[in-house]
Every structure is written in C-alpha cells, then in structure tokens.
Chains A and B, each alone.
Chain A
Amino acid sequence: MHPATPPTTDAPVGRAHRTPLPRRRLLRGLLAVTVAAPLMFGAAACGDDGGGAADPNAPVKLSVFWWGGDARAKLTEDALALYTKKHPNVTFEKTWQANQGYFDKLATLTAGGNPPDLFQIDDNYLAEYAARNTTLDLTSYQESGKLDTSKFPESLWKYGVVDGKLAGLAAGENTQGLVYNKTLLTRHNLPEPTTGMTWEQHIAWAEQVTAKTKVPGTQDPSADYKAFWVWLRQQGKDLYKGKELGFTAEDVTKWFDLWKGARDRKATPSADVIHEGNSSDVTKQLVVTGKSATSWVWANQMPDLKKNTKDELGVIAYPGDPSAQWARASMYWSVFKGSKNKDVAVDVINFLNNDVEAVKLLGTDRGLPSNLDLRRVVSDDTTDPAMKQSIAVEAELTQKFGESPQVPIKGHSKVKSELIKAAENAQYGRATPAEAATQFIEACKSAIA
C-alpha cells in the first residue's frame, strides 16, 4: 500500500555504482543488430530470384492465395488437387480469406518478402502491382504457347495488359449487371426493367416502383465507380486516358445532378440507406436486404446475391447503350515475379483456364470461363438457376460489348473511395453536386499523381 519513496531518492545510488562498460558494449551490439538485420533480410530476399526448376520432377510446393467464400475455396481446392493428381511432384499451400482485408494482407506479405507464388487479383489493384514490378510478365509464356490464350476473347486477355506487359490472366469474365427484385415487381404488377432503357427511363421506372411498392425503386449508384464508368463511356468519355483522368468536373456534376434529381423524385432510398448499399459486401446489397428494388453489381455475383434472399431476382445490363460495357476480367491470376517456381505457377494458371476437367470443377464461380470452348461446355452443364441467368445476360451482352477500356491506373483504389466520399457528400445534402464534383476532381488529381 505504500510504495511511497519516489524514484529520485533511490536512482542515483544505483546509477553511481553502474559500470559503464557492459552497457556500452550492449549498445554497440544492439546497433550492430539494428544495422545487420535489414541487410540479412534483404540478402535473403535477393537469394530467391532464381528461375524455374531445372528438373521437371523435382518436388515443388506452390503457395496460392485468393479471396472468396467457402464455396470458392472448395472448388479451387478440388481443381488444385486435380493438378496434383496429374503432376504428383507439385503440391499447394493454399490460403484464402474474405475480400475485405485481402489486399492489405497481400501487400503485407509482399513487403515481408514472402508473397504467394500465385495469387488472385482484380483490376482495382492489378496496375498497382504491375507498375511496381511485383507481377511476372506473362507475355513470353503466352508467345511460347505455355500459356494458351488462343480460345480467349482477345479483349479479355488484353484487359490484363499493363504498360505492354501481361500482368495477370483473366480467371473469368463478367460485366456490370443491374439486379432487380422480380418477386416484388410481379406482386405489384409492375413491368420489369429491360436492357437498353435510358437513364431517364430507368429513373422514371424506379419512381413508379417507389410509389406503388413503398420500396425505393433503385439504389442511387452515384458513388459506384462501375456505374459512373459505364455512364462516362456512353458520353464518349472514360475513367482514365493514359495516366490522366478521362473526365472533367462538368461530367461529374452532370452525373451527380442526374441522381440528385432521382433522389428528389423519391426514386432512390434515403442517404443513410444508400450508404449501407455502398458497401462492397454482397450481403449488404439493398436488393437482398429488401431496402431497394435494384442493386448495381457484377453479373457473376447473381448466385451469391440469390443466397441472401428468398425473392426471385432478375439481371440486365446497366441503363443506356449496353455497348459501353465490356468483357471485363472479373479477376486475374498473377504470378509473383520473384517466385522460385514461375514456370510451374504459369502452368497451373494454364491448367485452371484450359483443362476441361478443371474448368468444369471451377464452373462459373469466378465469372464465365475465359476459354470460349469450355465456356460453352460449362454453360450447358450449369444447373444453378441464378448462374444460368447470369450466363444468359452475359451471352446476350457479348454480342453488344464495346471495346475494353484500359486497366485502371495506379491510385485507382483511392479514386474509388474518393468517389464514394464525394457522392455521399451530395447525397447527405452536405454539398451541391457541383461542389462535390470539384472536391472529387481535386482528390483524384492528388491520388493518381
């Protein structure tokens, strides 16, 4: 209870008797460790730079990392097991987790000098990794035929090219999809929306839905970069042009104004509900939480959405001219440039995309198979009705797809989050569309600088 003596009365005694020598030596030792440790780690990292294994039958352990749910994990593990069956010397160290936090983890693993040999990545980060030379350029493998893209739509594999290098190979194809609640519409005798409606028509339709069903007709997608992107392409603009933005503050203002009009007409939910729906989490999409009749998603997310609602869902293209949409690589497989087993890793990518059994196992979980021949096989085999819908809409759109845009540039993830911030500022009425647009442009410029 009485630790009363203050330290000052006692400390000098100790200090007076302290021998300086060991302390100094200790400090010197610590300094040595401090200096040596990074050098050692650095040296270790450099040592890994060897090429492919010389002996094709030498045992290889390949680390693979992806994001996704249980279902994807099961399918992927089965497909990888099949590879091991065919190549008994190759085994896999599999790691997977939810999308949230995936890229933090991937970046940390890379920083720690311990990135996976083979990893899943999407267009939000592909350029970030490619620009920093983290991904292996697959071009030479493609040219030598070790990575077969002959059955791929050209625009699809080209959507993996960053600065002239093939940084990732499409693991599947998807495109923007507007998902709506069929059950709700049928119950109220309302027409279903159709591909090719203009944005104005879509908003008018949504207004009517709100009036009749009391469920807001459409989620306000002004914070959604993929909707903004399609709309921009319909205006003859793009998200990026080279290393610059492909749009101006006027474009953003027009986009925000369009949706301010929709909010004023009660075609959309209130700002806080829109905010909930702005989450990238599938389970929070308003069409499945019943807080709006539509959600703006990727077409291959249909089966996941369907798991979260009892209602029937439908899917069409985003409003406006559908040729603004393109065959997007839903995600890629990339190989770490410093991997010790590059050749094997590339062969695994080739296997996952072009082996009929593997592709059948994987199904359409990562989007439509990239290999067109196998896509037909898988489409015929699919029994999941939600997946059938998603395949149908993509098959229909494939006829109409426009040219692929360039892969989003370095800084894109910041641009995405700044769009959400600016759009929400307008949605909550804290800024006019023009103010929010100016704020967004400013933030983008420093993000991609």
Chain B
Amino acid sequence: MALTTAPDPTRRGPGSDRAHAQRRGPGRFRHSEGLAGYVFLSPWLIGLMGVTAIPMLLSLYLSFTNYDILTPFSEVEWVGLANYERMFTADPSYWHAVRVTLTFALIAVPLKLGAALGVALLLNRAWRGVGLFRGLFYLPSLLGGSVALAIVWVNMFNRDGAFNSLLSLFGITGKPWVNDPDWALETLMVLAIWQFGAPMVIFLAGLKQVPTELYEAASVDGAGRFRQFRNVTLPMLSPVIFFNLVLETINGFQGFTAAFVLSNGTGGPVDSTLMYTLNLYITGFTDLNMGYASAMAWVFLLAIAVITAIFFSTGRFWVHYSDGEDR
C-alpha cells in the first residue's frame, strides 16, 4: 500500500542501480548503460515531450500573444501581459467562473470525502457480502467523467425527470433542477459526490492498515467507539485523508465533462455551471481567443500549485506518518 505515504518503492530503483554500476567501476560501462537507459526511456520521454512538455511551453508563450487558432504561428503578435491584465481587471465572466469553481470545490470535495470515509467505515467490517457492496459503491466512480452519465443526470434532474417523480410520491413539487440557475451547480455537486468510490477504496485500504492492537489498547483504556474513531482511526488515517484531499481538490477544480454536457457546452443556465475549465474551453475554441485561454490555463496551474502547497505546509500539523517507528 504505497499510497499511504508519499514515497513509492520505484523511487529507490534507479538510485540503487546507479550505485551498483558505480561499484562495478569502469567509465565506459557507465556511459553505455546511461545511453541504454535513455533509449529505454525514450517512448515515455517522447510522449512526455510531444504531448505534454512542448505544448505546455508553447501555451506559456501563446499566453503572451493574441493567438486565435486560425492565424498561423508566424503571424501571431506578442501582446505582453495584456491577456493577464484583461483577466484580472476587465473580464467579469472570468471572475464569475472562478467563483463557480470555488463554490463547487469547497462544497463538493468535503462532502465527497465525508461520504467516502463514512461508507469506507461501514464496509470495513467482516460482514457477509461486503465485497459486493464495495464493488457496487465503487462502480459510479468507474464511470468517471463519462458523457453518458452526465446525459443520464440531465434527464434524471429536469422538470419531468425521475427525481421529481420520486418527490411527487411524497407530495413535493420538485424544481427543474438542471434548468434552474439556482440549482444547476448543486446538481453537478451531487453527481460529483455520488462518485465517491475512488477515495472510498483508498480509505478502505488505509483502514485496513490501522493495527488492531491500537483499538484493543484503546478499549482496554475504556475508550468508546467515538473516542476510538477520533483518537485512533483519524490520526492513523491522516496520511490517506491528506492524499485524498489533495487529489480530490485538484479533481474538483478541474471538473469539466459534466458541466459541458449539462449545459450543452455553454455553462448555462445563466452561467451557473460555468466552471473554470469550461470557461477556458469556450474562450479558446468557441470565441477563438486561444492566447487569452492559454493565460487562463497558466493562472489556473499556478493557483492549483499554490493551493497544493498550502495543503502540504499545513499538513505537518495534522498528518501523522507513524508507520515505521511504531512497529
């Protein structure tokens, strides 16, 4: 279960190999092995360069230009910081998208993690058929960002959708959820929360790692269920919580597919589902302001980096990496 702590075993591989080669000594060996190493690496390296690194660097360059997709690169004009200035001073819909995204992440991520942890606790028992339930709860997250799922969601949560039929059994008149600007984003949140399977599985794995003797010791000391949860489970689980928190926050910020499908690619009704990435996509591909969209992408990258850094710096106050010394 390498997931519980940051380092994974593969990290050790190259280091020790290199040390090994070093011991064997002669320089020419070292050289040819190094070359062979890069040759073996090359499929990955070419992929990284071609699909990630070069386009990323290019987009950094483009963010300082007025690139509009249709104009050839050679005729692109350098505009300096104009795109960044526009973003921060003259584009209300940009800030609207930031607000929508923050709202989404701040509400959906904690609830999703809460649901994942709650269900993981329930499924961490030796009940009959518990494996089946684990599978069932995990299933929605396998469907992930699928378009089909988003379409199902739209049809479940519109005025005459299944959800309102259910409500009407109880005499409640539902709202046109996905078509109501006050509720469309909430509908997306529910979809995100419902897909708690992936963090749940990780929580489960984490729970399995908590040594039972800790619980035994705690109950000998007279701690009840809740005390045990708070003083044993949570601290022991904190690295896993940390991991899930970072990952899900990043995922939450990047939500795109569901919002795109639900709003037919517009972010509607009335921009209520205009997530950051959707706004970026519309700016780049529909409005053809690819330079500006590139600038948005870089600010987004930096923002996520900063948020992640904040998580890491606060992590040392509440994340306990205890295995190793404890046993």
Residues of A participating in the B interface, judged by any CB pair closer than 8 Å: 1-7, 10-11, 13-14, 17-19, 22, 26, 30, 33-34, 37-38, 42, 45, 100-101, 103-104, 107-108, 110-111, 113, 128-129, 132, 134, 270, 272-273, 275-276, 278-279, 281, 411, 413-414, 417, 420-421, 424-425, 428, 430, 443, 446-447
Contact = CB atoms under 8 A, between A and B. Distances in A.
Nearest to B265: A100
Contacts of A421: 268, 270-271
Contacts of B31: 22
Contacts of B288: 107, 128
A11 B30 contact: no
Candidate in B49, B72, B158, B285 with the most chain A CB atoms within 10 angstroms: B72
Contacts of A108: 69, 285
B38 A22 contact: yes
A31 B326 CA distance: 47
Nearest to B46: A33
A226 to B, nearest CB: 17
Nearest to A8: B7
B269 A275 contact: yes
B252 to A, nearest CB: 25
Contacts of A6: 5-7, 321
Interface stretch (B12-20, B133-141, B219-227, B312-320): B12-20
A33 B324 contact: no
23 contacts: A6-B7, A6-B321, A10-B15, A13-B19, A14-B14, A14-B18, A17-B18, A33-B49, A38-B58, A103-B286, A104-B285, A107-B288, A108-B69, A134-B70, A272-B159, A272-B269, A275-B268, A276-B179, A414-B287, A417-B282, A421-B271, A428-B180, A446-B90
A113 B70 CA distance: 9
B8 interface: yes
B57 interface: yes
Contacts of A278: 268
A447 B288 CA distance: 11
Interface string B1-28: 1101111110110111011001000000
Contacts of B282: 417
Candidate in A270, A275, A281, A411 with the most chain B CB atoms within 10 angstroms: A275
A237 B137 CA distance: 59
B144 interface: no
Given A3-B8, A100-B265, A413 B286 contact: yes
Nearest to B5: A3
Nearest to B67: A111
B11 A10 contact: yes
Nearest to B23: A17
Nearest to A109: B69
A423 to B, nearest CB: 10
A283 to B, nearest CB: 12
B285 A14 contact: no
B34 interface: yes
B323 interface: yes
B58 A1 contact: no
Nearest to A414: B287
B54 interface: yes
B181 A420 contact: no
A111 B34 contact: no
B248 interface: no
Contacts of A1: 1, 209
Contacts of B2: 3
B88 interface: no
Nearest to A41: B73
In the A-B complex, list the 5 residue pairs whose CB atoms are closest, starting with the nearest: A14-B15, A272-B176, A272-B179, A4-B324, A132-B70
Candidate in B14, B34, B288 with the most chain A CB atoms within 10 angstroms: B288
Interface of B: 1-2, 4-9, 11-12, 14-16, 18-19, 22, 30-31, 34-35, 38, 49-50, 53-54, 57-58, 68-74, 90-91, 93, 158-159, 176, 179-181, 209, 264-266, 268-271, 282, 285-288, 290, 321, 323-324
A366 to B, nearest CB: 23
Contacts of B35: 22
A19 B285 contact: no
B69 A18 contact: no
A292 to B, nearest CB: 14
B49 A19 contact: no
Contact of A5 (B7, B34, B73): B7
A414 B286 CA distance: 8
B73 A42 contact: yes
Given A421-B271, A430-B181, A19 B5 contact: no
B73 A38 contact: yes
B180 A272 contact: yes
A308 B26 CA distance: 77
Contact of B264 (A111, A279, A447): A279
Contact of A110 (B19, B69, B271): B69
B175 to A, nearest CB: 8
B297 to A, nearest CB: 15
Contacts of A37: 50, 54
Given A34-B49, A281-B264, A19 B34 contact: yes
Given A107-B70, A272-B269, A417-B286, 18 more contacts: A1-B1, A3-B7, A5-B7, A6-B5, A11-B11, A11-B15, A26-B38, A38-B58, A100-B264, A110-B69, A113-B72, A272-B159, A281-B264, A411-B287, A413-B286, A414-B286, A417-B282, A446-B90
A80 to B, nearest CB: 26
Contacts of A111: 69-70, 290
Contacts of B71: 132
Nearest to A270: B176
Contact of B323 (A4, A17, A279): A4
A18 B16 CA distance: 11
Contacts of B93: 443
Contacts of B321: 6
A13 B19 CA distance: 8
Given A6-B5, A111-B69, A22 B286 contact: no
A7 B16 CA distance: 12
A424 B179 CA distance: 11
Contact of A424 (B53, B90, B264, B270): B270
A17 B70 contact: no
A272 B178 CA distance: 9
Contacts of A424: 181, 268-270
A129 B31 CA distance: 53
Contacts of A417: 266, 282, 286
A157 B159 CA distance: 44
Nearest to B20: A17
Contacts of A13: 15, 19
Nearest to A135: B70
